[in-house]
Structure 1
Amino acid sequence: MIYSTPDLITCDQEPIHILGHIQSHGYLVAIRPDDYRIVHVSANIAALFSQSAEELLGKPVTQLFSQIGESPETLTSLLDGGKTKQSWDTLSPYRMSLNEQVWNLIMHEYDGMIVLEWEPVGDASMLPYNQQLVSHALNEVQASQTLSALLENTARRIKEIIGFDRVMVYQFGSDWHGIVVAEVKEPHLEPFLGLHYPASDIPRQARELYKKNLVRLIADVNSESSPILTIAEWPADKPLDMTHAGLRAVSPVHIEYLKNMGVSASMSLSLIYRGELWGLISCHHYTPRFVDYTVRQTAQFVSQLLSSALEFRRGEENHLQRDRSREVSRVLHDQLVLESDVVKALTTQSTTVLDLVEAGGVVLRFNGQFYQSGKTPNEQEIVALTDWLKTVDSDPVWNTNKLVDHYPPALEFANVASGLLAVTLSHELDEYMLWFRPEQVQQVTWAGNPEKPVSVDAGGQRRISPRESFAAWVEIVRAMADEWSETDVTSALKLREDVLQVVNKQANEVRLLNNLLKEAYDELDAFSYTVSHDLRTPLSSIRCYSEILIEEYGKEFDDDARGLLQKIIDSSDRMRSLIRHILYYSRMGRLELKRQSVDMSGLLKQVREDVLLDERGRTLTITLGDMPPIQGDPTMVQQVFQNLLTNAAKYTRPADDAQIQISGEVTDDSVVYHVSDNGIGFDMKQADRMFDLFKRLENARSFEGTGVGLAVVKRIIDRHEGKIWFNSKPGVETTFWVSFPNSVAVAND
């Protein structure tokens, strides 16, 4: 069986990890891990061994070693070692001589197959020189004062290591279009520095592969790829997945793209920042050029040095921004506490709400009035904008750097408000904080017209064709502002909490109504406690009698009857759990707050131990950072973190490598802890329901729960006069922050 190349409709649909061919400079065999028999083999294998591909299919792979004078036990030992260690990196490459030439055998295991690839070995005399280049690269990473110098130095070292004509550092934008931000080339070549490339040039599935394969070589775009043959009984719908194969053939669309550029060989190295693709080191050569495995590994090491440097530099930048925002946030909080008027606290002091983030202007819409600072749209435009916000989004914080894409009327005031960071204080009262960023007109020089032409083949099928012209094509981009950072969004969300807390405290004019509501609340609280408490006794009886029926008379019942009794027991257990949570929630209103210094190190270690015990049998890492003490009720504080860590553990169950981090820090007026996980996350559009009793978010419904835990956490935090806020990205991460006042003098209710 030969897997043919799929029809190509669009780049995004192309299955580039299962193209069914390999590049011509190497050879491939894929075997079953259980018996080491050959399932897939490249058709060109006869050029390396004495048997054809058809003869080898279904045979033990050790036959290959026997035919070249190597001990079959050597290969078996290698394969056994790789399976045992669950790591093949330390075994690859394995060097062997075939046909009077030295070859690298590279091994990996993926998708139920062990894949063996043979590639020729390059010039071994270059190894010490390459190691010297790596040492130079490390020194340059440490010494580079600017990001541009760091990128150019890295490109130069990569060029020296692999010998290509052109090496570029290519950075992705938020929309996945790219720009060449550094370049080292041969003098006769035209420069590509500063050119932009559309996102379609590197489609989604290619970007996903770049995150898994950090180095990719195309040795000769004009060579004929070799098809992969498969044993006859193998399912036709399960081709060999070559996601991690270095010899994986090249997409015909990409081959045509490279040919249109005049490139004969290419190599790319991935640059990763916080687990995402930041960019690529893209290398072009204008004649065929093979780079052997060890040299590629050397280049990959240098690219990883750059990735680490990017991580460090970005971390420093984020840290400085966080420190600045934190200081402004602290000052605004103090002003809100000291000033009885929210508007005066935010708009008339030396530090104002405009200082919280980098913005051209800000509008506070509060109590039916507008308070503006800096350059903003006019009042009529703001009214229309906030009316639109109320209809399209329920997020407490919403942002965009191109407002016109979401709200076309924004084109009229794009010069002052192309970017918007909106905080909703109250939809019902039309109260908002709105930060605006002005338009940043850009002249973008594309490497050719970014729109890929659509062609129609003989069968009438519409196809995407790679661009043929790479002549500079200039576009003026308007109505776009600088992007808002994660720190901007988090700072705005915290200020929202501060404002709402102050507003709630200043509701003196409804004190009488509050007293009446409090009395009704206390009566309802006592009623719910009594009912919940009294329900436990008959519920225990129901469970007990059901167990007796199963134990004493179970043999006389058929399967359906026993199943129904078990359902009664299970339902009783769920009801008991719900009643227990309700009791704790209702009891919170009556328990005395015993505030003292809480040793968080001992508390969190115990909570971690309890959670890991409940989650035994799965991979889960809970990392504890700084753990400053908290002023609070020890039992209630433990309940807060028990709920937060239990939730984080529960919602990371689908993750292969579940990670939870918890750490605290001391600010001027509080102790702030954060709990972060890489679980299922949630849509921030549903965030306003987070702390509602018995309310659960849509993507959490398949997980066991009562909808009471976070309501308890919120109630405990409120009783401590603290704050809780959060941020999440579906399928990526979730972070909860909780702050406790660090003064023991805070009143105990």
Structure 2
Amino acid sequence: MDIFKLAKNIHQVNVHRYAAQIDGPTIRIISNPKYEPNLSQTNIRMVSPIHAAYMLKDGVNSNLSVALQIDGKLWGFIFCQSQEAKKINLLKREALVYFIQMAVNRYAEEQKNYEKEFHDDIRNFELQLKEKLVLKNNLAESLRVLEKELCYYAKADSMVIFINGRMYAYNIVIGEQKILEIIALLKSECKEQYYADHEFIMKYGEQLEINSERFVGLAGLHVEMDESCTILWFRKEKEFHRKWVEKPVRRIGMKLPNESFTHEKHPYLDIWNQKTIGTSEPWGEEEIYFIKRLRELIIQSADNFSQEIDKLNKEVGDLNRALDNYANTVSHDLKNPLSAINLSTQMLLQRPDMKEELRNRMLKNTKDAVDVIGELLRSVHEFSKVKSYEYKMEPVYVDEFLSQIVEFSQIRYQAEHAEVTYGTILPVYGEKSIVYQLFQNLTGNAIKYSAKGDSPKVHFDSKIKHEFVEYTIADNGIGIAKEELSVIFDSFKRLSNAGNFEGTGLGLSIVKRIVDRLGMQIKIESELGKGTTIHLLFPNTK
């Protein structure tokens, strides 16, 4: 490092330097003592003794070095070296310096163009966000529509938007309580309204009980307005390697837990390789600029709207949407119990001499179906009595009703032959009636779309994963095409291979609303012709 410091000092005075023969004799300069010669302006001169020793040890006996300067600042060096003494005439040396300077100028020009394009992109994004805010008059919805762009400009792998106690996650599985813990930590550790750390998990992972599986680097932005808004960006782990040309004694002495050093054999130099883990790509100036600019934009946009009008519009809009959604949900979810009642009644009418055991079973199915319908109608009645319906959140024991849902679905889709198996069935936290609806829709789909196969199979299982209870519902049915996975939650969307099956295209859109309302997360894996696996992540309140 001392050599590079020396080279830096010399090249700031003279852009290039040439030594034809490093081990050659030096020529003493005799001058009038009144006029000491200034050799810093000389291009052809010997290198310092310590530098010469290193170069000779590395087998170098001739050296031409050129500094790369951009906007007057030293950016790097080019070293042209020869094992033998080598004479290069002035014309060739000047031509080399000229061509290198042309390349430097071209690079500087491209960098300025890149910066201009970057700022143009940011301005275009700002216009998009302003447009969404004007049209939707809702900060959360506007940010969610542009969540991919928010991740792109921050150069992040995933993100979370947290507004007024509601969390919206993009490309990451993480619980709301864990996000609240991260936000509280940032508020206590950072006085600024923005935060960026590429070693966040290494510093705070143990305290927060988060490992590096999901992310290691974190950037954050907090805006305190009438709508409290926090945005967190996450970066995954990236392994870094660095090569040292002499032993980095001070760095090794720091004994950082995420760094390791190995010595590399070399005939001349003392080479050390450094490996760094547990860190992400550092957050750069561009990403920080974007985060700061986003904060200003959110504040500016918020000031343009009347808060009273916002609240009124939100209240009316939420109620209308909730009522519409509930009407669609109830009409869709009544089909299963009605099918059970219809089939049981038909069998009782057509077979008056049926065995008592079977008769009792048909009557029990009818009674259970009536109870389910009654519970749905009770929920509608409760909803109609209040301005904003709040679900009663409590432990829900899925094992109490899952087998009933399976039986109703098998009856409805004539799939009594389907093999249904169960692993661990854990309780979850939610509201019983809509958790029932959630499992009813997903179970119905699993049985319906596998019923026509040769040996239909459906498997239920659950486990604790991080701060969640994870449920999996796996079937070997018709599957979903990869290109359709992005639109399966759209209302009235029917898949291209589902033409031979009954349905309205509402089931999964209802599932998505329930998932959002319960603060859950859902992931669907599927392969055409081989089946589908649903992953449900319920917040674990233990």
Category of TM-score, reference length = shorter chain: 0.3 to 0.5
Pick the structure with greater CA Rg. Answer: 2
* TM-score (normalised: structure 2): 0.45
Instruction: State the TM-score, normalizing by the size of structure 1.
Output: 0.34
